[in-house]
Structure 1
């Protein structure tokens, strides 16, 4: 396969339009873009100029014009509506312990390696952030463990570890009103291996050989369902699937359930297990992935001039989100505060980002409005930063549009070490953000040897940095133009 001249990322992606794939023209064709337009987003007006029909043309930047009548933002003060984080749980390429996970990130360790889960020897991409030595002991019984797709195994372990971290183990849950505790863990792909195995059985042996678990273990709602079944949680329960923006969408929706009074606690996050023959093959077909087979650990290199695509990852990241009132009453240890969030759509293209960056910048603006935060208060961004040509710079330009003075902001890319976990990415990165808040250390963005000149924000290149986080945002964007931003801060009573 030819090298990527214009690679894609989940949402901030652009395809090589000048060449046909070996199977004929790409289905992702360029949409002609309109001329300038003005759009109001909350209290901020955006003036945009867009390119016309030339994918290599440089687009005018978005202008954010602050309204002179904007009043100072006000944070939520009602303890029933303030959302705090009381537990975190994950499954990652660095294991299932949050502290170990973050220590590896701080050390700048790459979790990318050659794939051995299936025979990838004939694939043009043969590496990923594959999880090894995963254990579900103590969290899933043996019989179910053998049947489950890894997507749901990761979800159950991360979810239960988060509950344990929040002092919400089985015995404690038995004393609580479980109808007031919900589960919202999404996934971009669902049970991909279960689905692939079912189709293979159908083609090779006929429909009678399809497993009865084919449908239940393929559909995307099953992570939330299985976690609720195992724990007895009867509050709001469903999944959201917005590709790589999934986990942040779940955090945003979960917080709103608590604010509306639907629940006191929400178990929320994302899970994914797409390092499979089908998953990797599919993204190769999209021409999305880095092809550095000779040096996988340097393949994910956000904002570096020599980046050539993203690296597949997998895992799960789950937060326990709780009203401050409820957390205080039960004496919970509060890790951080969720201040707000936002979700928007580019309404532009299946995979390409808007050339004017309006979808991303408006999502950041709306998240800050929801959080009651002024742009000047934000001093840390956990970026989507997938290591793609178009996506990385589109995100940076959107950030610079919203934050006029970025001299105090630090921004890093977690995917440089763990790869792109798709629907789980936002969950893992939210935990990295919360760990940064609590430790006072930011992990590096590794593999930065030749930074793009447009990137004038401190990306914490290659070595960790001490940094007292005031307010942090975590960005996630997905295929379909789905944008999501969540805002976290240290908890202050």
Structure 2
């Protein structure tokens, strides 16, 4: 049963924009992800640290604010602006084809303008308070990326920023889904952005023992579900999805990638960093998303797992997947390629899931070689991309603080 059958409008994905460690466009990012080629490499920004590598965005041209008098935005906002421009172009949203007053922006970020804070702290430490940029606060606030996208594209609808740690990008999609169903807007640019690969943030994650230390072979360090996994690799970038009601998209002759069918969210209420070992909160969010989508677990063809390559996190999620879907459903984690893009991860993975549905192709879980014998015998897609008709797919996101968010996407 679909949302439209229950009297709610079908919400569709009509445009995609991505800036990832393996591509500056959605097409390039998708191609590299399907090839299973990791974006991890030594990172000069992290030289001398215990973990001197990351999945960094390379070749990105800085995006200046269109207001000439405004200094450059923080990098996380620049990523968002670039991804949003590409998404709007991909959706063929041209002037006059929509009402800017009915267009919203909803973006997630787990850390926000970390680079701006770090740069300005360095200035103050070296040269005193007068050296601090007077626009530090508006450039570094979590809502800086959302505001920048709205300003850059001239959008006057709701402009919202959500922060649910590493579930932020998926949470943003859920908020966008509710806005469209409620009729509060006609178009939503939804997604996530992050640019937190800095010495401080990397060290902080390493102090939590969350990062892989496989520095002798960084391109093999991100190993979701693999028995030799030892932590995640930090990534950065952004993804923006254009969401509309299906009737509106059809009226302007726009083809859609997929439908956004449902959303669920919950809190573990368990621990500051560790997931509930029983996966109760994650299961609640997943069940909510399936119910919201009006679909049953037996109809799901693909699970795009959160799977970051940490011991406990992958274990809890693998057992959750088995308990809800059994072991027949295809499972992939694209973090083997992109690393963990933190607040942007859920949006990027939802975009990849929409492309899997559109193209009937499931990207492999890069670096997965040997299943952890303590995990269920899931059908982990690995080695090469798998041609598979995907009718209904789930994308999971889980974050520190017990944040859980799940979206369900389906074929148009």
Please give the range of the TM-score, normalised by the shorter of the 2 chains: over 0.9
Alignment of 1:399-478 (within 5 A): 399-403=321-325, 405-407=326-328, 409-453=329-373, 454-478=375-399
User: How far apart, CA to CA, are the structure 2 residues paired with 1:308 and 1:144?
Assistant: 46
Aligned to 1:479: 400
Compared with structure 1, are the counterparts of its residues 399 and 145 closer, same or farther at alpha carbon in structure 2 (3 Å cutoff)?
farther
Deviation at 1:201, TM superposition (A): 2.2
Aligned to 2:229: 307
Deviations 1:424-447 (A, max 9, x none): 101111111111111211111121
Deviations 1:294-329 (A, max 9, x none): 000110101111111100000001100101122122
Deviation at 1:146, TM superposition (A): 6.2
2:58 corresponds to 1:129? no
Say which is worse superposed, 384-393 or 277-286, in terms of deviation.
277-286
What runs of 5+ residues in structure 1 fail to find an aligned partner? 1-72
Deviation at 1:400, TM superposition (A): 1.4
2:85 corresponds to 1:157? no
User: How far apart, CA to CA, are the structure 1 residues paired with 2:152 and 2:73?
Assistant: 14
2:117 corresponds to 1:195? yes
User: How far apart, CA to CA, are the structure 2 residues paired with 1:144 and 1:91?
Assistant: 26
User: How far apart, CA to CA, are the structure 2 residues paired with 1:258 and 1:121?
Assistant: 45
Alignment of 1:27-38 (within 5 A): none
SS in 2 for 1:239: strand
User: How far apart, CA to CA, are the structure 2 residues paired with 1:465 and 1:167?
Assistant: 30
2:93 corresponds to 1:93? no
Compared with structure 1, are the counterparts of its residues 455 and 186 closer, same or farther at alpha carbon in structure 2 (3 Å cutoff)?
same
Aligned to 2:284: 362
SS in 1 for 2:201: helix
Deviations 1:388-446 (A, max 9, x none): 0000010011111212x332x10011000110000010111111111111121111112
Compared with structure 1, are the counterparts of its residues 140 and 467 closer, same or farther at alpha carbon in structure 2 (3 Å cutoff)?
farther
Aligned to 1:37: none
2:296 corresponds to 1:371? no
Query: Does the CA-based 8 Å contact 2:22-2:337 persist in structure 1?
Result: no
Using the size of structure 2 for normalisation, the TM-score is: 0.96
User: How far apart, CA to CA, are the structure 1 residues paired with 2:164 and 2:85?
Assistant: 24
Aligned to 2:205: 283
Aligned to 1:260: 182
Query: Does the CA-based 8 Å contact 2:22-2:38 persist in structure 1?
Result: no
Compared with structure 1, are the counterparts of its residues 145 and 99 closer, same or farther at alpha carbon in structure 2 (3 Å cutoff)?
farther
Compared with structure 1, are the counterparts of its residues 166 and 136 closer, same or farther at alpha carbon in structure 2 (3 Å cutoff)?
farther
Deviation at 1:77, TM superposition (A): 3.1
Query: Does the CA-based 8 Å contact 1:343-1:483 persist in structure 2?
Result: yes
Using the size of structure 1 for normalisation, the TM-score is: 0.80
Query: Does the CA-based 8 Å contact 2:13-2:258 persist in structure 1?
Result: yes
What runs of 5+ residues in structure 2 fail to find an aligned partner? none
Query: Does the CA-based 8 Å contact 1:80-1:324 persist in structure 2?
Result: no
Compared with structure 1, are the counterparts of its residues 326 and 309 closer, same or farther at alpha carbon in structure 2 (3 Å cutoff)?
same
Query: Does the CA-based 8 Å contact 2:191-2:241 persist in structure 1?
Result: yes
Deviation at 1:155, TM superposition (A): 0.3
Structure number with bigger Rg: 1
User: How far apart, CA to CA, are the structure 1 residues paired with 2:129 and 2:9?
Assistant: 50
Aligned to 1:38: none
Compared with structure 1, are the counterparts of its residues 350 and 134 closer, same or farther at alpha carbon in structure 2 (3 Å cutoff)?
same
User: How far apart, CA to CA, are the structure 1 residues paired with 2:299 and 2:78?
Assistant: 38
Deviation at 1:167, TM superposition (A): 0.4
Instruction: Identify, as 1 or 2, the structure richer in helix.
Output: 2
User: How far apart, CA to CA, are the structure 2 residues paired with 1:460 and 1:343?
Assistant: 26
Alignment of 1:27-426 (within 5 A): 75-77=3-5, 81-116=9-44, 118=45, 120-136=46-62, 147-168=72-93, 172-174=94-96, 176-403=98-325, 405-407=326-328, 409-426=329-346
Query: Does the CA-based 8 Å contact 1:79-1:323 persist in structure 2?
Result: no
Deviation at 1:122, TM superposition (A): 2.0
SS in 1 for 2:346: helix
- RMSD of the TM alignment (CA)? 1.7
SS in 1 for 2:318: helix
Deviation at 1:83, TM superposition (A): 0.4
Compared with structure 1, are the counterparts of its residues 377 and 213 closer, same or farther at alpha carbon in structure 2 (3 Å cutoff)?
same
Deviation at 1:280, TM superposition (A): 1.2
